[in-house]
A and B are shown apart, each in its own frame.
Chain A
């Protein structure tokens, strides 16, 4: 079982606030991912990283940004939260070429 952590687990915040969702893994995985998922829908990839100082946008356009300064840490930032950002955000990491990804517990974000 992978060790990947996300904080906070739940966040209720007002429109216009800046937020950072934290994601850390202790497996030394090079690849890390952020997904957005709404009930009854598929997971949508919004950002990914293949290593330190590497970040790419995913398939779903997102107003969030990410950074990868350390292998184990992949935070996601929203500069100005809006109600449309309300969703579950899932972080994952992978250490194999074939791509089995291991997920954190997720952050449920509610923007009022």
Chain B
């Protein structure tokens, strides 16, 4: 049973536009959420995180929104750039889980020039 779901396997956007990547979770014990970016044949790179006590966290072009009641989070990238083309993984952890992360299957983002 998948506890972190990224239901859209891929997303294509025009350069300069906004990219919105969605993630849903089922485990109500999750209270810390992260987004990672991964290029082929490389390890994931940490992008941004958010604690459940917040509903928004921003870092440059990246903003993560958390809706706890809907068990939903999203990553916004504005403006999108061709170098953003990669697989994006959503991950979550729960207090007391000793920082073990549960990952979604990832979304492949393609940014068209």
Report chain B residues within 8 Å CB of A31.
Answer: 98-99
A100 to B99, CA, bound (A): 7
Is B105 a contact partner of A90 (Cβ separation < 8 A)? no
Residues of A within 8 A of B (CB): 6, 9, 31, 33, 40-43, 45, 48, 50, 88, 90-92, 94, 96-106, 108
Q: Which of B34, B46, B49 has the most CB of A within 10 A?
A: B46
Number of inter-chain CB pairs below 8 Å: 64
A33 to B61, CA, bound (A): 29
Partner of A100, one of B41, B43, B46: B46
A44 to B12, CA, bound (A): 26
Report chain B residues within 8 Å CB of A45.
Answer: 100-101
- The verdict on B82 contacting chain A, using a C-beta distance below 8 Å, is no
Is A99 a contact partner of B106 (Cβ separation < 8 A)? no
A30 to B42, CA, bound (A): 23
A103 to B103, CA, bound (A): 14
A40 to B106, CA, bound (A): 7
